[in-house]
Amino acid sequence: MRQKDTIILGIESSCDDTSASVLKNETILSNIIATQEVHKLYGGVVPELASRAHQQNIIPVVNQAIKESGVDLKEIDAVAFTKGPGLLGSLVVGTSFSKAFSLAMDIPLIDVNHMHGHVLAHFIDDEGKEKPQFPFLCLTVSGGHTQIVLVKDYLEMEVIGTTIDDAAGEAFDKSAKILGFPYPGGPLIDKHAKNGDASKFEFSKPKMEGYDYSFSGLKTSILYFIQKQEKINTNFINENRDDICASIQKSIIDILFVKLIKASADLNIKQIAIAGGVSANSGLRSELKRIGKEKKWSVFIPKFEFCTDNAAMIAITGRFMFDEKRFADQSVCASARLKM
């Protein structure tokens, strides 16, 4: 039994969401996310604009998170922040803020790997929802990463498969761009796919060894297919939008599951989780449930608010690091390419 409650302030600023969260043990007291709308105009995240928006947002977001949590500033035991991976200019804002906060409040500073955060979001308390048991496999799929992670303990993880080119989120977003959707297009493909026939069109699948992924061939195959069809019918996308989206979504999901099923069988692990922005995809979530039933897996699907980037996942990781006194010092730097 722990003696005292641990209260952690989490800070996330790795890409285009500025987020702060206050966590008491494994329970969220607040989780504020300011999403940057400015990037929509440019069809993708513009790093310079992202850093600037983080600078504008960070103090109001932290203020709101602390206010909403109801905790007193003096009750906060540590500040945990995303050290990387991500956009350097964005990471620097959260890192610098957290260093200053730790110094001012005289509390420990905890540097968190963003990818650990996505996985450990499964350990945030959620009204009796079961948590995975170690070891489990986590398919972490986001705008920047596609990984099969072997999770041996809270802070002991091994990436056993990864993408050699585009991430699954990029596969969604780049396909969406071809169809003329604004950034980020993943959620729009998901929306249109719901009304479409996924067996209508077929795209090429990669032939990769082991547990690694590749999505660049799929993107090229979609691009060539659309260009070819538009030469025949200039209104092709408009007339087939839902079916195209459903077919693209199915291709991406099929690619993801082939390797996950293989890893589960090879390692004989039946505790299977998904994480990251793409785990919000309704097709991926329902396919995991379907395959899980067939293969007798225990499946763990995050709440929507913990799929995309958020500071609660950084705070929960910080909480486990706090228990092990894994603290950073004031010389810590953001790291754009931080490895697991």
Residues forming the site for ligand KG4 (CB under 6 A):
15, 142-144, 169, 172-173, 184, 186-187, 190, 276-278, 280-281, 308-309
Q: With respect to ligand KG4, which residue has the nearer C-beta, 222 or 280?
A: 280
**98 is in the binding site of which of Zn ion, ligand KG4, none (Cβ under 5 to 8 A by kind)?**
none
Q: With respect to ligand KG4, which residue has the nearer C-beta, 264 or 308?
A: 308
Q: With respect to ligand KG4, which residue has the nearer C-beta, 32 or 280?
A: 280
* Contact flag: residue 279 with Zn ion (CB under 5 A): no
Cα–Cα distance, 111 to 80 (Å, whole number): 6
Provide long-range contacts, Cβ within 8 A and 24+ apart, for 174-178.
Answer: 174/219, 175/218, 175/219, 175/222, 175/248, 177/43, 178/219, 178/222, 178/223, 178/226
CB of 80 to Zn ion, least distance (A): 15
* Contact flag: residue 142 with Zn ion (CB under 5 A): yes
Burial (CB < 10 A; 0-12, 13-18, 19+), residue 223, is middle
Which residue is it, tokens 């069988």? Answer: 265
Cα–Cα distance, 288 to 182 (Å, whole number): 27
**Which candidate, 81, 118, 79, places its Cα nearest to that of 102?**
79
CB of 33 to ligand KG4, least distance (A): 10
Contact 334, 84 (CB under 8 A): yes
CB of 241 to ligand KG4, least distance (A): 16
Q: Which residue is nearest to Zn ion (CB)?
A: 142
Burial (CB < 10 A; 0-12, 13-18, 19+), residue 146, is buried
CB of 277 to ligand KG4, least distance (A): 2
Q: With respect to ligand KG4, which residue has the nearer C-beta, 187 or 292?
A: 187
CB of 145 to Zn ion, least distance (A): 7
Q: With respect to ligand KG4, which residue has the nearer C-beta, 267 or 291?
A: 291
